[in-house]
Amino acid sequence: MDQRGQARLDEFLGALLFAGMILALYMAFLQAPREKTMGDLQRIFYFHVSSGITGLTAFAVNFAASVMYLVRRNRWWDHVALSSAELGVMFLSIVLVTGPIWAKPVWFVWWTWSPRLTSSLVLWMLYVAYLLVRNYVLDPDRRALVSAVFGIVAFVDAPIVWFSIRWWRDIHPAPMLETGGLSPSMRPAFYTCWAVFQILFIYLLRRRFFLEASRQEVEWLQRRADMVS
């Protein structure tokens, strides 16, 4: 796709995201019914869970891109891996901030070392470390290689986060969609928010990817300028 096509796609995704966000807020605050036990506080659920799933999706993309880099040794995959890792950290940050805000009035504590909460925090720290490690390796090919291996190893924690509430007793609620804990009248709001967060992820992934491509262009131009002088 040429530059004009990319710009048009970005504009389309931006417009879709804007309309989607308004719809998601409408669904979460006005369409979804008030929950019996927690009342309006439960409305945190729609963005909190959507962020969590999108964060895990981002780490899965990082894992796949890291494997592809090791197979193909093409920097394109390293750009995808880095972009998705950064987005995963951002989405998981939303989860780790909104979680305690929701927990305080319901569990009467901001934080507890339950399997789901602990494994989520560990996952966040692993990918923050991934982003930091990249800054300490100067050679671009070596940096991509080290990051790919790190990304693959870090992803081991993602299934633990996902299955923790199925494997162990946890204060965190059980998976609501599987156990039928989420009322059918609340599902449209949840699916809308989840879909909008996926669009947000695609939109931000594209922007972050092109940022990395620009950085590579700067490196290339810098090398050319050094050679000419």
Q: Interface with another protein by CB under 8 A: which residues?
A: 38-41, 43-44, 47-48, 51, 90, 93-94, 97-98, 101-102, 104-105, 204, 207-208, 211, 214-215, 217-218, 221-222, 224-225, 228-229
Sign (positive or negative) of CA dihedral 8, 89, 120, 101:
negative
How near is the Cβ of 60 to another protein at its closest, in Å? 20
DSSP 8-state secondary structure symbol assigned to residue 37? T
Cα separation, 41 vs 106, in Å, equals: 9
User: Based on CB atoms, which residue is closest to another protein, 41 or 145?
Assistant: 41
Which of 6, 118, 127, 135 is CA-nearest to residue 66? 127
What residue has token string 């300028």? 225
How near is the Cβ of 3 to another protein at its closest, in Å? 13
User: Based on CB atoms, which residue is closest to another protein, 2 or 178?
Assistant: 2
Tokens representing 182 are 């989420």
User: Based on CB atoms, which residue is closest to another protein, 48 or 172?
Assistant: 48
How near is the Cβ of 39 to another protein at its closest, in Å? 6
How near is the Cβ of 110 to another protein at its closest, in Å? 11
CB contact set of 101 (below 8 Å; sequence gap of 6+): 44
